């Protein structure tokens, strides 16, 4: 095998191993970062919903105290505000249209908030103390794979004004929601869970694009390095050595007056060339001595 072919084989194996290792590590890192980013977004969203809840019960509900005697306005309910806030967020930006926020409750006032099977599992896991908040998970949905984060919702003393029994709840609220559901909650009982769901597809696709661009530029750099090294190898070693060996060939066949190889520089190749011309001179002298 020629020197250049051997060199390129070694270079190829090295580059292939290096590229594979880099691909493996960088892809894993990018995907992990993407998941971390989704988690952070989900956490921020759930905390914002909690903040809206607090704002509603502290700032808005007192303003509607008189109103409650005549008509019950859901705007004073913190659960309602938090769910509405996320609804507006979804509508305002197409990027967020598949974001979901639920206050999944085992015994809800509004039936749309009833926990479905997988949500009930989460609420029950919180109730039984087997899950810790915030609870992260992933699930497949018709809208693609979703990451969810869940936090338990606890009933406080103030909540029992509307969620204890239908008798003590405001009459206007009963008129609106009926007396069948959303009652019998206990103080400190975990009655449901806030659950935020964020689609993974978009962020993971972005990570995949970053990965492709990164690997593409890495390959371009490696190809440029390989081409340069081939050029250098040819120019500095292969070309002079081929010439020197052709000259040595001619001398060995008795062509002692073949033109010298003009070696530039004092490197190893130059030394080889001058050794060869010295050898040729010695050879000529030896032949003269033999002739005389």
How many residues belong to the chain? 292
Q: Using CB under 6 A, pick the residue from 4, 25, 29, 158 that binds ligand HEC.
A: 158
Residue 181, φ and ψ in degrees, nearest 5: -125, 160
Token pair, residue 105, equals 């409750």
CB of 141 to ligand HEC, least distance (A): 21
Name beta bridge partners: 195: 102, 150
Site for ligand HEC in 99-138 (CB under 6 A): 103, 105, 108-110, 113
Q: Which helix (H) or strand (E) holds 237?
A: none
CA angle, residues 56, 57, 61, in degrees to nearest 5: 85
Q: Using CB under 6 A, pick the residue from 147, 150, 192, 276 that binds ligand HEC.
A: 192
Burial of 272 (0-12, 13-18, 19+ CB in 10 A): middle
Return the number of the residue (103 or 119) whose C-beta is nearest ligand HEC: 103
83-115 burial code (b ≥16 CB/10 A, e <16): bbbbeebbeeeeeeebbbbbbbbbbbbbeebeb
Question: Is residue 77 within the footprint of ligand HEC (CB under 6 A)?
Answer: yes
CB of 38 to ligand HEC, least distance (A): 24
CB of 69 to ligand HEC, least distance (A): 12
For strands 190-199 and 144-154, give the pairing: antiparallel
CB distance 61 to 76 below 8 Å? yes
The interface region with ligand HEC, picked from 1-9, 10-18, 77-85, 246-254 by CB under 6 A, is: 77-85
Tracing tokens 């705007």 back to the chain, one arrives at 75
Return the number of the residue (98 or 110) whose C-beta is nearest ligand HEC: 110
Q: Using CB under 6 A, pick the residue from 149, 159, 251, 269 that binds ligand HEC.
A: 159
211-248 burial code (b ≥16 CB/10 A, e <16): beeeeeebeeebeeebeeeeeebeeeebebeeebeebb
* Interaction mask 30-59, ligand HEC, x per CB under 6 A: ---------------------------x--
Token pair, residue 50, equals 């909690």
CB of 205 to ligand HEC, least distance (A): 34
Binding residues with ligand HEC: total (CB under 6 A): 24
Return the number of the residue (7 or 185) whose C-beta is nearest ligand HEC: 185
From the centroid of its chain, how far is CA 124?
31
Return the number of the residue (111 or 216) whose C-beta is nearest ligand HEC: 111
CB of 31 to ligand HEC, least distance (A): 34
Token pair, residue 125, equals 């896991």
The interface region with ligand HEC, picked from 5-13, 70-78, 226-234, 241-249 by CB under 6 A, is: 70-78
CB of 220 to ligand HEC, least distance (A): 55
Return the number of the residue (144 or 184) whose C-beta is nearest ligand HEC: 184
Query: Which chain residues interact with ligand HEC by CB under 6 A?
Result: 57, 74, 76-77, 79-80, 103, 105, 108-110, 113, 153, 155-156, 158-159, 161-163, 173, 177, 182, 192
């Amino acid at each position: 095998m020629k020197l250049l072919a051997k060199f390129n084989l070694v270079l190829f194996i090295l580059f292939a191993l290096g590229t594979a290792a880099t691909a493996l590590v960088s892809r894993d890192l990018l995907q992990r970062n993407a998941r971390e980013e989704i988690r952070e977004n989900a956490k921020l969203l759930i905390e914002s919903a909690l903040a809206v809840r607090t704002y509603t019960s502290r700032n808005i509900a007192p303003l509607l105290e008189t109103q409650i005697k005549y008509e019950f306005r859901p705007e004073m309910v913190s659960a309602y505000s938090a769910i509405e806030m996320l609804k507006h967020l979804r509508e305002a930006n197409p990027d967020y249209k598949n974001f979901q926020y639920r206050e999944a409750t085992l015994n809800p006032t509004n039936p749309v908030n009833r926990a479905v099977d997988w949500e009930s599992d989460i609420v029950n896991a919180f109730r039984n103390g087997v899950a810790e908040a915030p609870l992260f998970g992933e699930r497949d949905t018709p809208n693609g794979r979703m990451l969810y984060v869940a936090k338990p919702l606890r009933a406080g003393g103030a909540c029992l004004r509307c969620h204890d029994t239908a008798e003590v709840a405001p009459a206007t609220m009963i008129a609106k929601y009926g007396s069948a559901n959303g009652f019998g909650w206990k103080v400190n009982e975990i009655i449901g869970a806030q659950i935020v769901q964020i689609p993974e597809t978009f962020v993971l696709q972005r990570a995949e694009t970053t990965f492709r661009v990164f690997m593409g530029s890495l390959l371009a750099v490696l190809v440029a390095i390989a081409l340069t090294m081939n050029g250098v190898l040819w120019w500095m070693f292969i070309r002079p050595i081929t010439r020197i060996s052709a000259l040595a060939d001619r001398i060995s066949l008795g062509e002692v007056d073949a033109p010298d190889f003009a070696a530039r520089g004092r490197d190893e190749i130059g030394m080889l060339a001058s050794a060869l011309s010295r050898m040729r001179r010695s050879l000529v002298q030896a032949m003269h001595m033999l002739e005389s």
